[in-house]
A and B are shown apart, each in its own frame.
Chain A
């Protein structure tokens, strides 16, 4: 094999490794935002732009949760946010803040996704 071919092969392997590392390994350590309980519901603002920021939210069980989704794009991928465990499917108008409210009763880790399960976030209920 020529040097160029070796280069292509090694480059390809490196690229595949990078893709899988980047999407499956890196960035999986959650940056937890803890909702501040201020008498009312526990509130967190979640920015929606190609993903959820913060992607992992920590809340207390048994208290109402109010997540304000701030959708900063009009990509149709993120037009809905779904909390399958809480029966919530909410339409998020582009460039607007939309609150989602519910009360998680049981501690655990719940996933939330976009309408087509491509974007993901986690809700850690303690």
Chain B
């Protein structure tokens, strides 16, 4: 470890042309808390004094900052200093008081809730499908039985389609089943009455039960419309069946509408079944994510491997993950090397190499070799678990555009019922035909579809947030989604978004021997610039000697002895301070600085040998991604602490429109505010830690590069992929989703606005057009399914290049 003692975070950064602080990437993690909290179950407590004993024991234990024990929930919550104690010691403290304690097991609540919802939806779909198919079968029989009644010519079906069906089928039926026409009409009516009651009481029972329950609460739902519509048709038909003579005597045709009632119930059920299935599919992406976490893990305890359910895995356990298995927990690699496919979390298709010390996330796929990992986060605490929880919350939010639809839904049903009553009155008074009045009123009730309006926005939010997660883009809800669609300006915080966030050697004016010695000296340092120089020299195949003596000059560079030679690597000021005459070196250094790079001079035995240029390079995808943002019509600006020259060089290379250079951390917020004052809708992209205020201030705050640590609270959108294409995906998806929502709302409004008057018969005087209630029910079923289906099209949204 001698070499290690030499290593220092020495800084050969040149003051003359500083790039952004190279230490920045180290700050991207969340700030280290000085106390950790843990909640674990305590068993065996029966009374308040037990609770007090456990609590006191915990409070007195070394390293404990505070403890609360809850008798009701049988849980202890302890804040402790991780440097002074461990969870295991805390458990031991509790056990020493005579009570039981265990580390918390993996909380699978987020996953289980999703599964429960899926099971319920699936069961509902099957039940609805079964009932609707049986009802349709009964409906077909009822149609047959009704033919002789209609064939009596007392009334024709009122809409053209039904008329045509009757006229086409009637003669055939009369030929095939003459006996049907021999049955007395009264008997047929009674048979139909029985069939209808059967369907209403079995398949359609919930319509009536729900409508009644809602009515008692002064609310009205979709079920109210179906129940009132079919109920009115049924009661009229039943009255005709009981007393046909009474109607005939008053000039009213003794027609019955049983087959219509049955078919309406069947079609509405069928529509609901399709809707349930389609709604299930809106959560498919989320379900896919939740299903990624294996239910079992191979735990290594006392040198033995055992496969145990995930719920009995504890934090700190050693877990074996074989090739082809998914990580059951978040953890740190203890031994083994492998390539891990993290595409499920990041959307990044290239596998990532893992070596001891690397972090792995649950749900990711181990491809190459067996890994032993130490579990650091389980279940709902794992990155995957947090993503699932976040997505469920996002899907629970609503978009502001829904406001109008909500206001309409709130009054929709009572208004439609009023229109239906008015329709009945108008047809009776003006048309003089109470039967036609009744069918028109029923058609109004049946065709009206509040569901389509209610589904228009939420289904689109569900599908879009789910599709986003598949692309490595977490959008925190409907409102951020809507704002993201309005963005016209994107501000990129340079480091870590556009650039790789670590310097590389871009150019060198240096002979191989000097390069070898300089890189050899830098082997003693862990500074990013030093590491970049070492990597560059190794790439060139140089054999690097270890330094015999190494001394860092913080902020300037390093001096030392390599292979018996006196070597200096650093800024011009370092060389001056060491009394080395600059010679020809500074010429190259100035040229490098002018191009936006950080120059580092190299001197050997008191003589300047040349200079190396280092720069934080653009990510390979940045240029293409910025071009994609431009194609979306966005103005792209860049913020950086770099000097203007360096900043402009990077901006030119990436195709950025505007550069704000030499910005201090506080200046980020001011810049966002300034652009907003110009009337721009701003998306600010940063790492979510160093620029949280600017992210929170922006119309849409986008955190990038946080990886699976969905930490960024200030962010509306978190990009799991470390690639600006993810930003273009997010904004593109948001725009497309808003388009879908508008289409859905337009369709749902226009459907009702046209459908209800047509069903009421406004076209009858001019065109003789009336809708039968059966056609109305088909249209209604189709309309809500079509809205959900339109939302599902968002699943096909394609992200950009990877």
* Chains A and B come from one and the same complex: yes
| A36-54 near B? 1/0 per residue, CB < 8 Å | 0000100000000111110
Among B222, B276, B421, B458, the most chain A Cβ lie within 10 Å of the Cβ of B421
Chain A nearest CB, measured from B229 CB (Å): 14
Q: How far is A117 from B222 in the complex, measured between Cα atoms in Å?
A: 11
Q: Is the beta-carbon distance between A93 and B116 smaller than 8 angstroms?
A: yes
Picked from A28, A51, A79, A84, the residue with its CB within 8 Å of the CB of B214 is: A51
Interface 0/1 of B402-445, CB less than 8 Å to A: 00011001110110011001101100110000100000000000
Contact between B213 and A19, CB atoms less than 8 A apart: no
With both beta carbons as reference points, the residue of chain A lying nearest to B283 in the complex is identified as: A91
Chain B residues with CB below 8 A from A82, complex form: 396, 398
Known: A73-B213, A115-B454. A12 touches B206 (CB 8 A): no
Most chain B CB neighbours (cut-off 10 Å) among A90, A91, A113 = A91
A74 CA / B205 CA spacing, docked (Å): 11
Name the CB-closest residue of A to B116: A93
| Interface secondary structure of B, over-half rule | helix
The answer on a CB contact under 8 Å between A22 and B218 is yes
Closest A residue to B119 using CB positions? A93
Q: Tell whether B272 is near chain A: CB-to-CB under 8 Å.
A: yes
Q: In the complex, what residues of A have CB within 8 A of residue B429's CB?
A: 1, 5, 8-9
Which residues does chain A contribute within 8 Å of B542, judged by CB atoms? none
Q: Given the complex, which residues of B lie within 8 Å of A55, measured CB to CB?
A: 217
A51 with B213: CB separation less than 8 A: yes
**A89 contacts the other chain (Cβ, under 8 Å)?**
yes
Known: A5-B429, A76-B124, A91-B117. A51 touches B219 (CB 8 A): yes
Partner pick for B397 among A1, A53, A77, A89, CB 8 A cutoff: A89
Contact with A along B206-230 (1 / 0, CB 8 A): 1001111111111111110000000
A3 contacts the other chain (Cβ, under 8 Å)? no
- A93 contact set on B, CB distance < 8 A: 116-117, 120
Q: In the bound complex, what is the Cα–Cα distance between A75 and B178 (angstroms)?
A: 43
Q: A49-B213, A87-B397 are in contact. Are A19 and B414 (CB under 8 A)?
A: yes
Neighbour of B216 across the interface among A28, A51, A89, A94, CB < 8 A: A51
Q: Is B215 in contact with A76, judged by CB distance below 8 angstroms?
A: no
Q: Tell whether A115 pairs with B213 under 8 Å between CB atoms, given A8-B425, A23-B219.
A: no
Q: Is B450 an interface residue (CB 8 A)?
A: yes
Chain B: interface size category: 35 or more
Q: Given A50-B217, A82-B396, A84-B397, are A115 and B458 also a contact pair (CB < 8 Å)?
A: yes
B580 at the A interface (CB under 8 A): no
Q: Give CA–CA (A75, B222) in the complex, Å.
A: 11
Q: Does the CB pair A116–B450 fall under 8 Å? A: yes
B405 to chain A, nearest CB (A): 8
Q: Name, among A74, A116, A119, A120, the residue most crowded by chain B CB atoms within 10 Å (CB to CB).
A: A116
Residues 93-122 of chain A: 1 if any B CB is under 8 Å from the residue's CB, otherwise 0? 110000000000000000001011111100
B477 at the interface (CB under 8 A from A): yes
Among B108-166, those with CB < 8 Å from A are 113, 116-117, 120, 124
Q: Are B120 and A88 in contact (CB under 8 A)?
A: no
Instruction: State whether B396 touches A89 (Cβ < 8 A).
Output: yes
Q: Does B395 contact A (CB under 8 A)?
A: yes
Asked if B88 CB lies within 8 Å of chain A CBs, one says: no
Say how far A40's CB is from chain B's closest CB, in angstroms: 7
How many contacts between A and B, using CB within 8 angstroms? 133
Question: Is the pair B409, A117 in contact by a Cβ cutoff of 8 Å?
Answer: yes
What is the distance, in angstroms, from B52's C-beta to the closest C-beta of chain A? Answer: 15
A-side contacts of B425, CB under 8 Å? 8-9, 11-13
Q: Evaluate contact between A24 and B411: CB separation under 8 angstroms.
A: yes
Among B217, B405, B477, the one with the most A-chain Cβ atoms within 10 Å of its Cβ is: B217
A94: contacting residue among B120, B217, B393, B421, CB under 8 A: B120
Closest CB of chain B to A96's CB: distance in Å?
9
Provide the bound-state CA to CA distance between A11 and B397, in Å: 44
Assess whether B27 is interfacial by the CB under 8 Å rule.
no
Name the distance in Å between A26's Cβ and chain B's nearest Cβ. 6
Instruction: Determine whether the beta carbon of A75 is less than 8 Å from that of B223.
Output: yes
Which residues of the other chain, A, contact B213 by a CB distance below 8 angstroms?
49-51, 73
Give bound CA distance, A51 to B422, whole Å. 27
**B767 part of interface (Cβ distance < 8 Å):** no
Q: Closest CB of chain A to B422's CB: distance in Å?
A: 7
Q: Determine if A26 and B218 form an interchain contact, defined as CB atoms under 8 angstroms apart.
A: yes
Given contacts A12-B421, A50-B212, contact A118 B116 (CB under 8 A): no
Q: Among the listed A8, A22, A50, which residue makes an inter-chain contact with B428, where contact means beta carbons less than 8 Å apart? A: A8
Whose C-beta in chain A lies nearest to the C-beta of B415? Answer: A20
Are B422 and A116 within 8 A (Cβ)? Answer: no
Give the chain A neighbours of B79 by CB distance below 8 A.
none
A37, chain B: closest CB distance, angstroms = 14
Known: A73-B209, A76-B272. A12 touches B422 (CB 8 A): yes
Separation in Å of the A87 CB from the closest CB of chain B?
5
Query: Within the assembled complex, what's the spacing in Å between the Cα atoms of A50 and B72?
Result: 33
B379 to chain A, nearest CB (A): 19
Residue numbers of A with Cβ under 8 A of B are 1, 5, 8-9, 11-13, 15-16, 19-20, 22-24, 26-28, 40, 49-53, 55, 73-77, 79, 82, 84, 87-91, 93-94, 113, 115-120
**7 additional A-B residue pairs with CB within 8 Å, beyond A50-B217, A115-B454:** A16-B418, A50-B212, A91-B120, A93-B116, A93-B117, A93-B120, A118-B450
Q: Which residues of B contact A (CB under 8 A)?
A: 72, 113, 116-117, 120, 124, 206, 209-223, 272, 276, 392-393, 395-398, 405-406, 409-411, 413-414, 417-418, 421-422, 424-425, 428-429, 434, 450-451, 454-455, 458, 477
The 9 closest A-B pairs by CB, nearest first: A89-B396, A50-B213, A51-B217, A116-B454, A12-B425, A27-B218, A50-B214, A23-B414, A75-B210
